[in-house]
Amino acid sequence: MFFSLSYGKLLLSFSGNLIQELTVQSNITTILFTLALIINAVIFVVYRKKIILILKALFSQRSFSQLIREGKLLNERIVLLIIPVIFLLQTILLFTVLQFFFTDMVSNIQAYQLYLLLFVIVIAHYFIKIFLIFFHTVLFDQKQNRSYYYLYRLFYNYGNAVPIFFILPFSIFLNNKYLLLTYLIVFVFNFSFFAIRIFMLNIEKSNLFQFFVYFCTLEILPYLVIFKFFLRY
């Protein structure tokens, strides 16, 4: 009898903690997703014409050239709104992937701690990529193309972020992790165009070796290392 009561209390305590943790996860996800949605809505209201060009620029040389003619995009305020959207959505996506597919790895980490850690990782990843582009263009004397590298990186990241608005809610609220796998199609599609744009940028200058060094070392290798890490885990 005593054992049954003790076990029952333990079970209720565990269930209560689990429900509380799930509630915290849901609340944080909802807040961050809503914030990203609001910022993105502001972008589309205030910069409707430009944001459409940005979404098309990775796939259309005409749209890219038009953005270049209109001025230095990287110095405009719209970029200061796009970057937080990218950070927020990438963080939510990583958090959801870990919760769905690598539960054991993050089971002992509180939701807010994991979110904070992932947010720091996403920001660090972004600025490391920016620094590596800077280093690459200095090393191979491609300073004249540096802004193009930055722009294609921005278009690629934002092009990866926007579909999260449509895929993630269905995956979370239907509790279907396999819906999340459809994002891989988007990622591969955008990554392919990103690779083509960087390739064309280098082939125009007859720098195919530089393209190989940049793309294999800075773009493909990190994903292979991460993939191998999770496979080993």
Give the chain's radius of gyration (CA, Å). Answer: 21
pLDDT score at 80: 93
Q: Is residue 103 part of a domain?
A: yes
How far apart CA 155 and CA 64 sit, in angstroms, is: 10
pLDDT in tens, 85-122: 999 999 999 999 888 887 777 777 888 888 999 999 99
149: domain range?
16-232
How far apart CA 158 and CA 89 sit, in angstroms, is: 10
pLDDT score at 22: 52
pLDDT score at 85: 96
Q: Is residue 154 part of a domain?
A: yes
Residues 6 or more apart from 114 whose CB is under 8 A from it?
A: 95, 98, 106
Q: Is residue 6 part of a domain?
A: no
pLDDT in tens, 43-81: 999 999 999 999 999 999 899 999 988 878 888 899 999
Write down the mean pLDDT value for the chain.
81
pLDDT score at 111: 82
More confident residue, 150 or 13: 150
pLDDT score at 50: 93
Q: Is residue 181 part of a domain?
A: yes
Q: Is residue 3 part of a domain?
A: no
Q: Which of 108-112, 174-178, 183-187, 218-222 is predicted most confidently?
A: 183-187
Q: Is residue 10 part of a domain?
A: no
Query: What tokens were used for 73?
Result: 């995009």
pLDDT score at 16: 44
Which region, left, alpha or beta, applies to residue 72 given φ > 0 means left and ψ of -120 to 50 means alpha? beta
Q: pLDDT-derived band of residue 205, with 50, 70 and 90 as boundaries?
A: low
Q: pLDDT-derived band of residue 128, with 50, 70 and 90 as boundaries?
A: confident
Residues 6 or more apart from 47 whose CB is under 8 A from it?
A: 78, 81
Percent residues over pLDDT 70 in the chain? 84
pLDDT in tens, 12-47: 343 344 344 456 667 888 899 999 999 999 999 999
Question: pTM of the entire structure?
Answer: 0.82
Q: Is residue 107 part of a domain?
A: yes
More confident residue, 64 or 227: 64
Q: Is residue 5 part of a domain?
A: no
User: What is the tally of structural domains in the chain?
Assistant: 1
Q: Are 92 and 168 in contact (CB under 8 A)?
A: yes
